[in-house]
Amino acid sequence: MQSLEGIRIIDLTHALAGPYGVLLLADLGADVIKVEPIEGDPFREAYEGGIFIAANRNKKSLALNLKTEEGRDVLRKLVKISDVIVENFTPGKLEEIGFGYEDVSKINPRIIYCSLSGFGQSGPYSKWRAFDPVIQAMCGSMAATGEQGGRPVRNAGSFIDTGTGVMLAYSILAALITREKTGKGQRIDVSLFESAVSWMNYYIIYYLLTGEIPEKMGTGYKAFFPYGLFETKDKPIYIAVHSEKTWKALCETLDARYLLEDERFKTNDDRCRHRKELEEELNKILRKMSCNEVLERLTKAEVACGPLLTVADLVDNPHLKEREVFIKVKHPTKNSEVKSVGMPIKFSGIKFKLRYHPPKLGEHSIEILKDLGYSEDEIYRLKEKKIVYFP
């Protein structure tokens, strides 16, 4: 039995953060109904469908026009039989059409209502629209990312989106446990901005203690050195030395014991002060070896390191292959299969199941409407009136 088997979730989210958070619950067995506008989630086509595929497996699609009263009536019926509703509309928009928390909790007092937004349901920024890079710019991360002296740089991965999605899933699981104890549902308020600020917390504390704003360090790290990307004979390798023990191991395994005697590099503070000189010394040594040779030596010495890989290197990576990280799913609009990352957590008592491929728009509309008591004639009438859509 999967952990969330028997839990029904209405997914009213689009883009990445909300869908990814709900995906984590779907992978645990929740029955997820993705309610989309009849024209579809606007991110269905982005990156050749990559964003949609990455965040919407194990869900059913109901294409529904919530601008109509009949469409809203369908959603009300769905609310009655559901456990969780997740939405990422601009704060106040669902209240305008009768689906705010107060409205929904009258229909179903046990409902867990999770709102995801850029900045939260209250506060001076609450109505602002936001996506991952906007939050990167505002949370302090972008200002501290990039090469020294260069312009601020956006992180390539949508880690604020996906990380906030994890926060969303975590909060819903906590609310489900609380409901088991109290019998009551509740409202959850999750924001990209507050999630991102929480991940910048140690930088904030450091600033309050020292008055220093985090500076751009390229691939490096202010607190330790050597800690960054270094050159080898063929391709770069990231090396992370975090203690005197690992510093000694690095020097010994690279046959560079002379560095241990150099007064400039005696302590971590010394090495941080003289990082440019030490970087030059290490690159001289490392350029004589292949990346694989450095990797083999340092991993044997228990020094954290790893080669610089592209996404192309990940697709057939032997470690990911043995860990069964990738699954094959059907592309929702192309007649093909594509590799996708499966559930990123391993349980001893739960096996990941691909129950549904990322759905075509409205693929499950008929099934869901029949479960709600609509007759076939009623369903086709709703389609003719453009209240629902199915292929």
Annotated catalytic sites, by residue? 161
For the beta sheet containing 227-230, the strands, ordered from the edge strand earlier in sequence to the opposite edge, are 227-230, 237-240, 304-307
Torsion over CA: 276, 279, 285, 286 (sign): negative
Please, what is the Cα angle at 74 between 86 and 21, to 5 degrees?
15
| Structure token digits, residue 1 | 């039995």
DSSP string, 188-231: EEEEHHHHHHHHTHHHHHHHHHH-PPPPP-TT--TT-SSEEEE-
- Asked whether 388 and 64 are in contact (CB, 8 A), the reply is yes
Name the phi and psi angles at 10, rounded to 5: -95, 120
Q: Between the CA of residue 69 and those of 55, 74, 102, 111, what are the distances in Å? A: 29, 9, 19, 22
E strand or H helix at 351, and its extent? none
Calpha distance 122→126 (Å, rounded)? 5
**3-class DSSP string for 261-279:** HCHHHCCHHHHHHCHHHHH
